[in-house]
Amino acid sequence: MTSTIVVLTEESLGSGDVENLRALMGEEPTRFDILVPADTGRNLLVDVLDNLSLLDFSAAFKDLTGGRQTKAEGVKEAVTELAESLEALQAAGLEATGSVTGEDPVAAVVETAKRTGASQVVVITTPHAIEDTFRTDWANEAQDRLGVPVLHLYSGSGFIGGS
């Protein structure tokens, strides 16, 4: 029987992410259902505080001076990130499908996990100091709503988030 792992990512999966996902497969056949949000619903103040806590002053300044995407730009970027992620997984010989989510990425994860009978959910993000500290990140929200394990990985690394 093929198991399903639902993956929510806020950016294109890189080679490190693909290898981390491969390690989760185990011995049984696994397919991945990739979700990329077109609108992350992020809060400007939280983004600025996250960037300042990570000493990324240029990103904090960009957030404050209007560096936000339009909805159309967000959808276009999400479609590109999804295509790149699917290509990376398929190039590694992994079975993967995916879609772009709407305004509530966690609701999309919950719906997809229930519809596919997912055995696990993986959330791949960059570090978000405020959300991770106060456990308001996507992984914690998904864990609260689902009865399957939710693993939070930081993009491009093997570091596990605080979920």
Query: What are the tens digits of pLDDT across the range 11-44?
Result: 999 999 999 999 998 888 999 999 999 975 556 5
Q: Is the pLDDT of residue 97 over 70?
A: yes
Residue 55: its pLDDT value, please? 73
Q: Is the pLDDT of residue 81 over 80?
A: yes
Determine the average pLDDT of the residues in 2-17: 94
Domain positions in the chain are: 3-40+79-154
Q: Could you tell me the CA-to-CA distances from 4 to 56, 69, 99 in Å, in that order?
A: 36, 32, 15
Per residue in 140-160, pLDDT tens?
Answer: 889 889 977 899 998 877 666
Q: For the chain, what's the residue count?
A: 163
The answer on pLDDT for 120 being more than 60 is yes
For residue 104, give the amino acid letter. D
pTM greater than 0.95 (yes/no): no
CATH code reported for the domain at 3-40+79-154: 3.40.50.620
* pLDDT of res. 41: 58
Q: In this predicted structure, what is the pLDDT of residue 163?
A: 46
- Whether the CA torsion 62, 65, 46, 130 is positive or negative: it is positive
For residues 10 and 85, the answer to whether their CB atoms sit within 8 Å is: no
The pair of three-digit structure tokens given for residue 92, joined into one six-digit string: 């590694």
Instruction: Give the other-Cβ count within 10 Å of 55's Cβ.
Output: 8
Q: What is the pLDDT of residue 39?
A: 72
